[in-house]
Amino acid sequence: MAEKKYGHFDDANREYVITDPKTPWPWINYLGNEDFFSLISNTAGGYSFYKDAKFRRITRYRYNGVPMDNGGRYFYIKDGDTVWNPGWKPCKTPLDSYECRHGMNYTRITGSKNGVEASVLFFVPLHTWAEVQKMTLKNQTEEAKTLKVFSFAEWCLWNAATDMENFQRNFSTGEVEVEGSTIYHKTEYRERRNHYAFYTVNTEIQGYDTDRESFIGLYNEFAEPEAVMEGKPRNSFAHGWSPIASHYIEVTLQPGESRDLIFLLGYVENEQDKKFSAKKVINKEKAHQLIAKFDTTEKVDAAFAELNQYWDNLLNIFTVKSGNDKLDRMVNIWNQYQCMITFCMSRSASFFESGIGRGMGFRDSNQDLVGFVHQIPTRARQRIIDIASTQFPDGGCYHQYQPLTKRGNNDIGGGFNDDPCWLIFGTVAYIKETGDFSILAEQVPFDNQPGTEVSLFEHLKISMNHVINNLGPHKLPLIGRADWNDCLNLNCFSWDPNESFQTTENKGEGSKAESLMIAGLFVVTGKDYVALCKQLAKEALESKEGEIAGLAEEDYLTEAERMQQAVDEMNEAVKQHGWDGEWFLRAYDFFGNKIGSDENEEGKIFIESQGWCTMAGIGLEEGLCDKALDSSKKRLECEHGLVLNNPAYTTYHVEMGEISSYPEGYKENAGIFCHNNPWVIIGETVAGRGNDAWSHYTKILPSYVEEKYQTLHKVEPYVNCQMVAGKDAAKPGEGKNSWLTGTAAWMWYTVSEFILGIKPDYEGLLIDPCLPSTAKEYEVTRKFRGGEYHITVKNPSGNQKGVKQITVDGTPISGTIIPCSEGKHEVVVEM
């Protein structure tokens, strides 16, 4: 039996086309890339928010609904007795045709029924605080059609958390205004809020509703709103309860005629002294201006063309032509797109992340940078400063911050000892891409406290120092609350289910819990830091002022030496106390016992330390890396990728924390945590094992396993998900937590810099591919610091690694770095 298919890639249009609305899970897309964001599923479910999914939620969404994905922007079309939606839901009236095209920051959903086609294009125009919904209605019959069209959006009372819990207040606060075809949501505007939202349409309306109960009916569902079923709006006015916005429009279409209706869901902020135009009447000036920008088909089409142009430009910075569609479409389109989304959202808002749980993660956001920095470096620059501003003077940092306030999140606090290293990781990536050393001179505060500013370079230095100052008995880094693995909680010892594994530390001083993952991370970022200092010394020498971040040449060199020594010591400590014989240990626990050792019954081997210690090249010459990589293949690999640890924990270990709370094969307990697979892949490239790197890479590359997504993984086949259930799971292969995962940036970093081997460096583009022996030739076009490089890599004898010769514009260069220069350049690389 052929497996069912729910959709396919359309590379020419950079779209994924969904042809059956009953996907195995809602397959979503993201609209907006700056301030105003929307999530939209293939049946038009989802919600919108301004900047912060928790504090500035514009429309309401019900997580964990039954059925799944309940609520969204719905259009009801009543044609005689038939009521249907272009996106099938919520009425689920069988459609004559259905298609959803998810593209770059837009989604187009088209349905048809009884000779009427309704196609709705959803997007957030550039630099705009609004979502456009352009509906095109077409009469494909020989007779005139009179349709009753109802729109529907449900307002969230701004704070998405209290919106779901504080009903004794919420049911009394809702307020709206209606003016012409525009419904305004002004709840809490009377007091401290200076923002409101609106929903409008560019035509006269024949009625409206703003009160949910009047529109839907207390005992009805979204699928059968009373007003729609009866074909009669109530012209209701919300006072408290649940304010909504629904337009009612009567449309008559002659045979063959089509008509556009443009809906706009917008957000406005007013200055404090300009909030009202009369007592209790909101100042609508800015709303009017916004509405006027998108009130005709021509204006909307122009804005849409601009959005497409924007994406053309972004995606043209790095393109590959390999003759392998599956690789090309991920590199050229979807992987880069997912990187932009994770950069914007961090881990806040998806169909798995509720938008109220977490803000921006310190480590997550730094990692997301490497997937994004080549696209819009100026935004990456700001992000680095924002992140560093939440650091503490001792180098520790808030684990998360809220995007709206940019303040560190006190609920979670700090104490994750890997966090500081990631600041170096992100900053170095930024400088290598842009050559902008001036960022290091930026004055950046601690914990956002004015008056505490020091240079960003100083922040990097104290980040390194934080590791050095927190070493354990084996001179390996103390883990703190956890390292990258949030669930390896070695100082928690929790027996109370109401406690958080992440924030509880029940054991006092004297912990011996050390992390080999941080050790590897420290060596990788420490080497980066040393190279940065040396580069700074050079820059200081060359620049007339003689300094960049306040130091002179010799100071940078002294600093480089100091850190090189710390890196060397860490290297030794890992070899002495972190090697288990066939692979790297994972950690020492509170008492100093080994974790991730062959001596252990379960959890004998972990992926994180194999990844980071091989990326760091620890023991490369002695063959330790090869051994660790072989052991990973032997013990961690399964048909869907590499699991996190093996064997899975079968019981709760109080001394290990959350990791052992998950059933076998899920999440951090031996799931395939896709985020960390690229670490091993990069490790493979460091060891020059291109075939193994490729094999691991393609196992979790969405386009390679598209078929699996349709049936087994279930989540969106065009992006990576955070986790696929591992070999020890009850249902191996099920995917979860799609979209918002460090996997996006790591997959990008891996393929662009380590497999295809185009690596930004201080002086130019470093070329160092690591390929499967089947790869004989490919081309990459890379825009970099004002130049455009068309690079052809030739590998006729199928080598896995090693560049023989590079010519730039016909002239051989020495070494493997293409020096920066403006204009277009032809580069030929021979392996």
Is 353 among the residues that bind ligand GLC (CB under 6 A)? no
Asked whether the beta carbons of 692 and 511 are under 8 A apart, the reply is: no
Radius of gyration of the chain (CA): 28
Instruction: Give me the 615-654 binding string for ligand GLC, x by CB under 6 A, dash otherwise.
Output: ----------------------------------------
Tell me: does residue 355 bind ligand GLC (CB under 6 A).
Answer: no
Amino acid at 4: K
User: In one letter, which amino acid is 676?
Assistant: N
User: Which residue among 125, 233, 355, 361 contacts ligand GLC (CB under 6 A)?
Assistant: 361
Q: Which residues contact 621 (CB under 8 A, 6 or more apart)?
A: none
Please state the three-class secondary structure of 284-345 as a single string: CHHHHHHHHHCCCHHHHHHHHHHHHHHHHHHHCCEEEECCCHHHHHHHHHHHHHHHHHHHHH
Minimum Å gap between C-beta 495 and ligand GLC is 18
CA 731, CA 735: separation in Å to the nearest integer? 10
Question: Residue 67: is the preceding peptide bond cis (ω within 30°)?
Answer: yes
Residue with smaller CB distance to ligand GLC, 367 or 752: 367
The distance of closest approach from Cβ of residue 754 to ligand GLC in the complex, given in angstroms and rounded to an integer, is 20
Contacts with ligand GLC in 667-726 (CB under 6 A)? 667-668, 675, 722
Min CB(526)–ligand GLC separation in Å: 20
356 near ligand GLC (CB under 6 A): no
555 annotated active-site:
no
Catalytic pick among 52, 209, 486, 768: 486
Rule CB under 6 A: choose which of 487, 518, 755, 775 binds ligand GLC: 487
End-to-end alpha carbon distance in the chain: 44
Site string for ligand GLC, 591-610 (x = CB under 6 A): --------------------
Q: CA–CA separation, 479 vs 514, rounded Å?
A: 5
What are the backbone dihedrals phi and psi of residue 457, each rounded to the nearest 5 degrees, phi first?
Answer: -60, -40
**377-388 helix and 456-468 helix, angle to the nearest 10 degrees:** 50
In the set 102, 347, 481, 604, which binds ligand GLC (CB under 6 A)?
347
Residue 390 in the binding site for ligand GLC (CB under 6 A): no
Q: With binding defined as CB under 6 A, does residue 481 bind ligand GLC?
A: no
Our CB check for ligand GLC shows the closer of 161 and 828 to be: 161
Spatial CA neighbour of 44 closest among 128, 153, 127: 153
DSSP state of 659: G
- C-alpha to C-alpha distance for 343 and 339, rounded to whole angstroms: 6
Q: With binding defined as CB under 6 A, does residue 586 bind ligand GLC?
A: no
Q: Out of 419, 658, 684, 692, which residue is the one contacting ligand GLC (CB under 6 A)?
A: 658
Distance of alpha carbon 262 from alpha carbon 722, whole angstroms: 36
**Out of 48, 409, 485, 535, which residue is the one contacting ligand GLC (CB under 6 A)?**
485
Across the strands, what pairs with 641? Answer: 638
| 112/335 with CB nearer ligand GLC | 335
Residues 726-785 that bind ligand GLC (CB under 6 A): 741
**Binding window for ligand GLC (CB under 6 A); candidates: 49-57, 94-102, 361-369, 633-641:** 361-369
Secondary element (H or E) of residue 721: strand 721-724
Three-state DSSP class for 61? coil
Tokens 């939620």, residue? 57
ω into 403 cis (within 30 of 0): no
Contact 720, 748 (CB under 8 A): no
User: Is 363 or 474 the residue whose CB approaches ligand GLC more closely?
Assistant: 363
* Contact indicator for 135, 117 with CB cutoff of 8 Å: no
How far apart are CB 364 and ligand GLC at their closest, in Å?
5
Question: Shortest Cβ distance from residue 15 to ligand GLC (Å)?
Answer: 28
Residue nearest to ligand GLC according to CB distances in the complex: 486
Binding mask 262-301 for ligand GLC (x = CB under 6 A): ----------------------------------------
Q: Which stretch binds ligand GLC (CB under 6 A): 49-57, 112-120, 485-493, 681-689?
A: 485-493
**Contact residues for ligand GLC, defined by CB under 6 A:** 347, 358, 361, 363-364, 484-487, 502, 658, 667-668, 675, 722, 741
Residues annotated as part of the active site:
486
